[in-house]
Amino acid sequence: MSRPGHIEFVYSSGLYPLLAKGLALFSNLFPFSVDDAFYAALIIYLLANVIALLVRRLSFRRFVARIATAIAVVYVCFNLFWGFNYYRSDINTRLDMPSASADVQELMSAFRLLVEKTNVSYTPLYAVDKNEVMQLLNEAYRKHADFLKIDVGLLQTVPKSITMSRLFGAATISGYYGPFFSEVHLNDYLLPLEYPHVLAHEMAHKLGITSEAEANFYAWLVCSDSDNKILAYSANLNLMQYFVYECYKYDGFGEIVKDIRYEVRHDFYKSHYHWMALMNRNVELVAAKVNDAYLKSNNVEAGIEDYDGVVKHVMDYLLLEQRGQ
């Protein structure tokens, strides 16, 4: 997979959208997650073969052949339905964005700008109309479709609940994209203030964005630029955690943080403690290691640290905006 330009043209912009739309037409017929049902079927198939092996109804050779065949089929389907997007062109190439230099002063200026945007976009979020959020996100993505180079036909999404939301909450997983049936999944334990951004993030994955950092950037861009404060505040608040992590070690951090309005601070900590209360450390560690291995095996060298890369993408975008002025 050394030709990302070919993958971009033939697969990501050609074959993938056709496959994803077809899969979505089928999965949208069901109110439950077809992906989760598929995973359950795989587990049942594995257990049935293990039991057959133990009671000697199945030879070891046939057992290995069946499991190997199942793994091969799943692997091929995963890559065909979504996985080849891991080898597409990087975000700077796709969006014609310059790469900003690693400048601490520019980073702190961007952090200050984010604090201002978050303060201005603040709105109390005790509940959200999920259908309204879905409609607003469709409009927001369509607004930026040309810049983001996306197929708007992929925006037709029926979000599904994660079947075992509490277990995923223990691993601090707020959502995921199911590639086998083109389904967006959201955790039932999401706070209203988190829901718009997480949905926008998972929609980015459905649009063929595999990188977690890029999905965070797509979600932040379309939401923060929206006239709707619900979208803007949710995205700005989410992005703030990444900038806090990147900026806390530099001079001037304390002065900028002082400007964060009280209500925003409250929501920031509310989200943090909400997931800490749900988290089971052992489950979270296992999930983190699995996710890290999964990402690294799929051409994401940074592994789970890829999430933090959204700061760089935002800096690159701000540089693009400056050049466009």
pLDDT at 202 over 90: yes
Based on the fold, state whether residues 206 and 150 are members of the same structural domain. yes
Based on the fold, state whether residues 158 and 225 are members of the same structural domain. yes
Based on the fold, state whether residues 113 and 27 are members of the same structural domain. no
Based on the fold, state whether residues 146 and 284 are members of the same structural domain. yes
pLDDT at 138 over 50: yes
pLDDT bin (cut points 50, 70, 90) of residue 303 is very low
| Strand stretches in the chain, DSSP E | 160-161, 175-178, 183-186
Based on the fold, state whether residues 211 and 79 are members of the same structural domain. no
84, 114, 140: which is the final residue of a domain? 84
| Least confident span in 3-7, 58-62, 317-321 | 3-7
C-alpha to C-alpha distances, 140 to 129, 135, 161, 206, 289, nearest whole angstrom: 16, 9, 23, 15, 34
Based on the fold, state whether residues 160 and 192 are members of the same structural domain. yes
Based on the fold, state whether residues 105 and 140 are members of the same structural domain. yes
Number of Cβ within a 10 Å radius of residue 102: 9
pLDDT bin (cut points 50, 70, 90) of residue 293 is low
Q: How far is CA 100 from the centre of its chain?
A: 23
Based on the fold, state whether residues 14 and 156 are members of the same structural domain. no
Task: Please compute the mean of the pLDDT values over residues 112-138 and round it to a whole number.
Answer: 95
Q: Say what the pLDDT of residue 307 is.
A: 41
pLDDT at 99 over 90: no
Q: What is the mean pLDDT of the chain?
A: 89
Based on the fold, state whether residues 195 and 239 are members of the same structural domain. yes
pTM: 0.89
Task: Please compute the mean of the pLDDT values over residues 9-15 and round it to a whole number.
Answer: 93
84, 101, 117: which is the final residue of a domain? 84
Residue 125: which of 220, 229, 225, 241 has the closest Cα?
Answer: 229
- Give the dihedral of Cα atoms 24, 28, 31, 34; nearest 10 deg: -30
84, 112, 139: which is the final residue of a domain? 84
Based on the fold, state whether residues 163 and 255 are members of the same structural domain. yes
pLDDT bin (cut points 50, 70, 90) of residue 216 is very high
Kindly state the DSSP code that residue 84 receives in the 8-state scheme: G
Based on the fold, state whether residues 149 and 267 are members of the same structural domain. yes
Residues spanned by the domain of 234: 92-324
Structural domain count, the chain: 2
| Strand stretches in 120-163, DSSP E | 160-161
Q: Say what the pLDDT of residue 306 is.
A: 43
Query: What would the pLDDT profile of 233-252 be if each residue is shown by its tens digit?
Result: 999 999 999 999 888 888 99
Q: Say what the pLDDT of residue 285 is.
A: 67
pLDDT at 47 over 90: yes
Query: What would the pLDDT profile of 74-87 be if each residue is shown by its tens digit?
Result: 999 999 999 999 99
Based on the fold, state whether residues 31 and 163 are members of the same structural domain. no
Q: Say what the pLDDT of residue 304 is.
A: 37
Locus of tokens 């980073």: 107
